[in-house]
Amino acid sequence: MDLPMVIEIVDTEEKVKTFLPFLDEMMGGGLVTLEKIKVIHYRDGSKSDAELA
């Protein structure tokens, strides 16, 4: 079946840009969006904020 698929990757801008050439080889077609995000990471009852691009 040809169903839509969404894969989300959260990492630093540098690591995502390094990965893009490999993704280009794997994809036959589709869309890639790059967005700056704010991540709130909950762990052991506490939280920490990290901004990633």
Instruction: Give the chain's largest Cα–Cα span.
Output: 42
- Residues facing residue 46 across a β-bridge: 43
Percent share of the chain, pLDDT over 90:
25
Rounded to two decimals, the pTM is 0.60
Distance of CA 17 to the CA centre of its chain: 10
Provide the CB-side half-sphere exposure for 2 (13 A, CA).
3
pLDDT at position 17 over 70? yes
Two tokens, residue 3: 């169903």
Q: What's the token pair of residue 9? A: 């990757």
Instruction: State the pLDDT at residue 53.
Output: 46
HSE, CB side, 13 Å, CA atoms: give it for residue 50: 10
Q: What is the mean pLDDT of residues 36-52?
A: 73
pLDDT of residue 51: 56
